[in-house]
Structure 1
Amino acid sequence: MLVIFTVITYTNRDIPALGSQEKPERVVHLVTGEFKATLPDGKVIEAYRWDPGTIFVHAGEKIKLSMYGVNGAQHPFVIEGTNISGVVKKGSETLVPLQFNKEGVYRLICTTHADIAHNGPMIAYIVVD
């Protein structure tokens, strides 16, 4: 009995107590990506993006964005409709805790690549229902 009690005690430390209303924070992983192509005239074109490009969350849900820089030296960003901003650097992870209480679509925008003229638009959509 002592062995069983010890095993249960030490293996279930991260399991919430029965009746607990708190859900663990969900981690959503994004990476920076780049598409590059050469046109028939030899001109090189490229575009940057967040991958995945759309994230779905529930209103009130606690999430953490884990953004990893793969392509491009750095990507300064804002989340439209919030006061959240930051930078994702190549080879580094940027963590952003989030909780949206209002339904809607929030855009994660790289300010360096905000439109076609600047190898974008590098925009991900956070859909809150």
Structure 2
Amino acid sequence: MSRVWIVKRKHFYQLAAALLILLIGWLYVNRASILPTFAEPTAERTIHMVVGEFKSTTADGKTIEAYRWDPGTIAVKKGEHIKLSILGINGESHPFFIEGLNISGEIKKGKETIVHFTANQAGTYRLICMTHTDMAHNGPMIGYIEVY
């Protein structure tokens, strides 16, 4: 003998509401494993920078030029993981160091140089090109990393 279940519409809605409440309760209890969190990301942030040059001619015909980092200042959060991607556009070679972070390297024309760092102390860190240190050498070529 088979029995046929007949459910009244009112009972169907009550059953559906009860199941929905159970599902919401289960999701609430298990939210850590299935719902996104709003914690600080640990992924690395990429910042792009280029080496550029300003060049001009004075009224007396003298050529003047200056090399720059572009952007000249970048801002990062204390403890943030940074991937600094620097592309050499002008100038054949730019050996550099970042004061306070114990980082050095070289930017070459047409090449990308990647630097990874995490600044754990707030402050201003200077990115200094050792070729263009002053006006006599088409500088100073100094960029700034502001850590807040």
Asked if these proteins are the same fold (TM beyond 0.5), I'd say yes
- Output the CA distance in 2 between the equivalents of 1:122 and 1:28: 18
Question: Structure 2 length normalisation: TM-score?
Answer: 0.73
1:119 paired residue number: 138
Check if 1:85 corresponds to 2:104: yes
Greater strand share, structure number: 1
TM-score using structure 1 length = 0.84
Query: Residue 91 of structure 2 corresponds to which residue in structure 1?
Result: 72
Offset at residue 22 of structure 1 (A): 3.7
CA distance in 2, matches of 1:40, 1:106: 37
State the shift of 1:82 in Å: 2.3
- Equivalent position SS for 1:121: coil
Q: Pairwise mapping of residues 46-61 of structure 1 onto structure 2 (< 5 A)?
A: 46-61=65-80
The unaligned stretches of length 5 or more in structure 1 are: 1-16
Take 2:145 and 2:40, find their aligned partners in 1: how far apart are those partners?
24
Per-residue deviation, 1:117: 1.2
Q: Residues 13-67 of structure 1, C-alpha deviation per residue, up to 9 Å, x if partnerless?
A: xxxx733654321000000000011011111000000000000000000010000
Q: Could you tell me which amino acid in structure 1 is paired with residue 36 of structure 2?
A: L
Q: Percent identity?
A: 61
Could you tell me which amino acid in structure 2 is paired with residue 18 of structure 1?
P
The higher radius of gyration belongs to: 2
The question of 1:99 aligning with 2:100 is answered no
Which ranges in structure 2 are unaligned for 5 or more consecutive residues?
1-34
SS of aligned partner of 1:117: helix
Q: Deviation of residue 81 (structure 1)? A: 1.3
Aligned amino acid, residue 107 of structure 2: V
CA distance in 2, matches of 1:78, 1:23: 25
CA distance, structure 2, for counterparts of residue 29 and residue 22 of structure 1: 19
Counterpart-to-counterpart distance in 1, 2:58 and 2:41: 53
The structure carrying a bigger helix percent of its residues is 2
SS at match of 1:120: coil
2:36 corresponds to which residue?
18
- Structure having greater relative contact order (Cα 8 Å, sep ≥ 6): 1
The answer as to whether partners of 2:101 and 2:119 remain within 8 angstroms in 1 is: no
